[in-house]
Every structure is written in structure tokens, then in C-alpha cells.
Amino acid sequence: MGTAVPPFEVLTDARPHDNSLPAFLVSTTRGFLPRADPVVTLPKEFDALESILQRMPVKTLSGEPGLLAHSKLGEEVDNSFPDLTDAMELYKGNLPLMNALYRDYSFLASAYLLEPCHQRFLKGEGYGLGRSTLPKNISRPIARCAELTGFMPFMEYAGSYALYNYRLEDPAKGLEYDNIRLIRAFEHGLDPTSSEAGFVLVHIDMVRNSGPLVAATVRCLEEVSNASTNPDPVEGRRSFNEGLSDIVTAMKKINSVMETMWGKSRPRDYTSFRTFIFGITGQSMFPNGVIYEGLFDNKPMSFRGESGANDSMVPLMDNFLQLPLPNTPLTAILTDFREYRPSNHKTFLQYVKSRSLELDLKDYALGNKVEPTSDEEKDLLRQTCSLWIQVLNEVRDFRWRHWCFAREYILKQTSHPTATGGSPIVTWLPNQLEAVLAEMVNVHDMTKGKHQKGLGTVAEDIMEAALRQRDTLRKEVDKFCADRGVAREN
Ligand code: HEM
């Protein structure tokens, strides 16, 4: 007998003023964004941290060149930056503040480790080696606040670089794109019109729309959960279809915001600010890992770098849809990425995966279990199958645009073979995109024959375009593999 999946509470009130709760808890209002806008101002004990971070970016807020422009950060950290770990104990019950400290120390750690690589990159050389030891005035405090907040002691996407790194220029205007600014940056990101700012802010702008996606997913799980006891199965399916339709609408909105990346962050600029968001795992800059001075028995550590791969929206869809992924080393990387996120996001994603399987949600959706008894039920089931393909299509749309980003911002700009998160740049994104396309074909083949009139023009048009896209993708990947001498499966 399998054990029942433990329930998961998705907040309907994000409780923004409760500092005893972690900064990140999934809600139907804020989705995967932190419960409240990130803490910007640090207590006075951390003035030295605030000062070095303000003076750090290549271009500071005033427009003057900062420590990274002159390659002076390492010197200052080594000679005069204090160890503030003990001051953290004064505030450790305030978890959003601990999250802000985690963000800030992870910016300092990455800048310190990768500063030499940035200098070589500017000279047109390869990245060479990064610093291989994190001194104890950074290693101790980052490890402590990472422990208190549940993150890896290295920069992460949600807890640091992207989702905990914005402030509202005018609090009254709220989370409108033009009203958000970065709190921390490496290169030119304090200027909201820069490519570094645009890159991060578009991620935030997309996740700002994740509340309805979370709400609709939870609704669908609930509808299927009630289906077996529902005295009116027709009404149950109608309601399930409404939930699926809400998922499609939410994903369309998120994808349309993703499209704004082209205008907000220029492909040519990406490789220059991304030097600072590389990780340790799989990177030539850290062949022997990084020693966190005084910690982990002084053994070299390895963590993945910041990456949108640690965003929770697409994994939510993968888990809900029970997307089959091939058993390849590339998929193993995807699984590893799913460790790098707020604990509550991890638990929620696991919950959705287990609950979808436990409820046989896909079988219910595609009508694999019970035959419809009335024409009305048949019609609603046909709608479900079409909507299922439409949801898959939004995941395809996201991953296809993503492949286009990788092609234009990375493959055409640099020969460095590994992305910031440590995945191989040519083959990794196509591994998942191919899996989505295969599932679309599979679902279409499985369902279309069951319905006299097929699945309707929306689904048929989607399938036609998807198959064309699969051909294009294969040709492009084959070409990049041949140009770079990379095997297709790794
Ligand atoms: C210029 C824009 C972007 C570039 C160049 C880019 C680059 C990449 C790369 C290279 C990867 C591979 C993983 C790794 O880092 O090792 C990745 C994965 C990923 N990124 Fe992005 N990214 C961009 C924008 C975005 C945006 C706006 C989002 C929105 C949340 C996002 C979400 C993701 C996701 C979900 C994955 C995993 C894909 C999958 O599961 O198939 N990315 N990104």
C-alpha cells in the first residue's frame, strides 16, 4: 500500500508582515515571488557590507566606476572587510532579513570568486581560473544565513539574484515593470535601462504573474480529487476544464512577458554580466572546487550557478502534466537543478508531482479510465484533451523561446561550453524541449481517434506547428553539435 501524499498549504494571504515566516512561501496571490517585497535596508551592524556592495558594481548607482571596474574588490575583502557573522545572531528570528543578508553575501561571494575571470574576459582572453578560496569573512556569514534560510551557501536564482533582488521605486505604484529596480548588481544593473537590469527584471515580471498559475493548478488537483465522489461527474469535468483553461491563460500571459526580453536586454551584452553568475559545478574556472575557509573541514565545495532553471513555474507544469523525461545524464542535471530553490517551492513542486500521480490525473484528463456515458460528457472530454494539448503547447512555447534565447544570447556570442547553472549549452535545453514535443505527439495520437470529430482546429493547428518546429530544432541542434564537436546526448 502506498502512503498518502501529505497535504500542502498554499497561502491565500501571503502574510507580508510576519517576519517569523520564511520569505518564500507559495501563495495564490504572489505565486512564487517572496511573500513581501524584498528587504532593502540592512541593520547598522551591516554597514560595512552595505558599503562594499554599493561600491562594488562595474558602474555604481551614481554612474561612477566601482571596485569591479578597477579590480579592487578582492584586495578590499582580503585587507579590511570585517567578519560580521556574530551580528547575524541578533536578528536570526527575522527570516526575510536573513534572506536579504543571504542575497547580499552571495553577491559578494560571487564577485570575489569571479573577479579575475571578469578582468580576463574584458581583455578578450578566456575566463582562466577564479579564486579558489572564499575567505572566512565571507564563508562564515554566507554559510550561516544560508543555513537559517535553507539555501545553498552560494548565489541562487530565487533567494538571491533574481526574485529577492528588487525594490519599488515608488511604493504606491506597485509591481509595474517601470517601477522596479535592482537592489544589487554586478555590472551596469543599477541602471534600470541596462541589459543586466532588463535580464533580471523580466524574470521578476514573469513570476509576478505566477499567482493565477498556482491557483489554477491547485484547483485542477482539487477537482480531480473530488471527481470520484462527485454526484455530478459532468459538472466536475466542466469545472476541471475551467481550471485547465485558467492554466492556459496564465501561461500565455507569462510567455508574453518573456517575449519582452528581446527589447529589455540585448543579446550582445549578456556574456559580459553573466561572468559573475557562473557556478562552481562543471565550470573550467573552478576545476578543484572552492574552499570555504574554516568550514566543511576545508574540503573543496561545489555548487551550481544562478540560473532560471531554478524557477518554479515550468517545473510546476512538468509535474502537473506528468511530463515523461528521458533517462539521460541531461535529465539528471534537471533533477539536480530542482534542489536549488526555496524549501517551500521544493515541497510544493514535490507535492504537485506526487498528488498528480496519486490521483491518476493524466488518465482522468485524457479519459483513459472511464468511458463517457452521455454526448455532453463526450464533448467535455474532447475539450479536456484539447486543453491538455494547449497546456503542453504553452510549455513548448516557453522552452522554444528559451532555446532561441540560448541561441542568440549565448551560442552566437561565445564558445564557452557550459551555461551558468553548469549544463552543456547546446544539448541541455533541447533535451527537455524534445520531451515536450514527444509528449504532445503521444497525447495527440492517444486521444484524437477516440473522438469522432478529432480534437478540433485549435489542437490540430498546434500540432502542425509543433511538428514543423521539431524539424527546425533538430537541424539547428545538429548544426551546433557539428560546429562544436559535441555529441547529441551530452
Ligand atoms: C536572455 C535570456 C535568457 C537566457 C540567455 C537564459 C539562459 C538559460 C540557460 C543557458 C539555461 C540552461 C541551464 C543552465 O543555466 O545551466 C536556462 C534554463 C532555464 N531558464 Fe533561462 N535564460 C534566459 C531567460 C529566462 C527567463 C526570462 C526565464 C523565466 C523564468 C528562464 C527560465 C529558465 C528555465 C525554467 C530553465 C530550465 C529550462 C528547462 O527546464 O528546460 N530563463 N536558461
Nearest to 441 by CA among 399, 404, 488, 392: 392
Task: Name 31's bridge partners.
Answer: 27
Nearest to 105 by CA among 76, 69, 70, 143: 143
Q: How far apart are CA 392 and CA 371, in angstroms?
A: 24
Nearest to 336 by CA among 362, 357, 367, 305: 305
Give the model's pLDDT for residue 230. Answer: 86
In tens, the pLDDT along 325-349 reads 999 999 999 999 999 999 999 999 9
Contact status, residue 480 vs residue 486, Cβ threshold 8 Å: yes
Nearest atom, ligand 1, residue 418 CA: 16
Name the architecture of domain 207-268+311-484.
Up-down Bundle (1.20)
DSSP, collapsed to helix, strand or coil, labels residue 474 as: helix
* Cβ of residue 311 lying under 6 Å from some atom of ligand 1: yes
Q: How far apart are CA 348 and CA 363, in angstroms?
A: 22
Distance 193 CA to ligand 1 centre (A): 21
Give the model's pLDDT for residue 41. Answer: 98
Contact status, residue 22 vs residue 342, Cβ threshold 8 Å: yes
Helices of type H across 192-304: 195-207, 211-227, 233-258, 261-264, 270-273
Burial track 274-302 (b if 16+ CB lie within 10 A, e otherwise): bbbbbbbbbbebbeeebbbeebeeeeebe
* Cβ of residue 405 lying under 6 Å from some atom of ligand 1: yes
Q: What is the ipTM of this complex?
A: 0.98
Q: Burial level of 39, CB count in 10 A (0-12/13-18/19+)?
A: buried
- Order across the sheet with 290-292: list the strands: 133-134, 290-292, 300-301
Q: How far apart are CA 298 and CA 1, in angstroms?
A: 45
Contact status, residue 418 vs residue 486, Cβ threshold 8 Å: no
* Cβ of residue 317 lying under 6 Å from some atom of ligand 1: no
Distance 475 CA to ligand 1 centre (A): 21
Give the model's pLDDT for residue 163. Answer: 98
Give the model's pLDDT for residue 490. Answer: 54
In tens, the pLDDT along 202-232 reads 999 999 999 999 999 999 999 999 988 888 9
* Cβ of residue 279 lying under 6 Å from some atom of ligand 1: no
Give the model's pLDDT for residue 482. Answer: 95
Residues of CATH 1.20.58 domain(s) within the chain? 207-268+311-484
* Cβ of residue 420 lying under 6 Å from some atom of ligand 1: yes
Beta strand pairing call for 180-182 and 166-168? antiparallel
Q: For the chain, list residues with pLDDT below 70.
A: 1-2, 489-490
Contact status, residue 473 vs residue 434, Cβ threshold 8 Å: yes
- Give the 3-state DSSP-derived string for 114-159, with helices as H, strands as E and coil as C: HHHHHHHHHCCCCCCCCCCEECHHHHHHHHHHHHHHCCCCCCCHHH
Q: How far apart are CA 352 and CA 220, in angstroms?
A: 11
**Residue 170 — left, alpha, or beta (φ > 0 → left; ψ -120 to 50 → alpha)?**
beta
Helices of type H across 338-374: 343-358, 361-366
Give the model's pLDDT for residue 1. Answer: 45
Q: Confirm or deny that 444 is annotated as ligand binding.
A: no
Beta strand pairing call for 133-134 and 290-292? parallel
Cα dihedral 55, 58, 59, 61 sign: negative
* Cβ of residue 203 lying under 6 Å from some atom of ligand 1: yes
* Cβ of residue 432 lying under 6 Å from some atom of ligand 1: yes
Which residues, 6+ apart, have CB-to-CB distance to 221 below 8 Å?
320, 352, 355, 356, 359, 361
Which residue owns the Cα nearest ligand 1 atom 38?
A: 309
Burial track 347-358 (b if 16+ CB lie within 10 A, e otherwise): ebbebbbbbbee
Which residue owns the Cα nearest ligand 1 atom 10?
A: 419
Which residues, 6+ apart, have CB-to-CB distance to 349 below 8 Å?
312, 315, 316, 319, 338, 341
Which residue owns the Cα nearest ligand 1 atom 1?
A: 405
Q: How far apart are CA 148 and CA 430, in angstroms?
A: 36
Instruction: Name the phi and psi angles at 197, rounded to 5.
Output: -65, -45
Which residue owns the Cα nearest ligand 1 atom 7?
A: 406
Give the model's pLDDT for residue 369. Answer: 83
**Residue at 360: amino acid letter:** D
* Cβ of residue 419 lying under 6 Å from some atom of ligand 1: yes
pTM over the 0.95 mark: yes
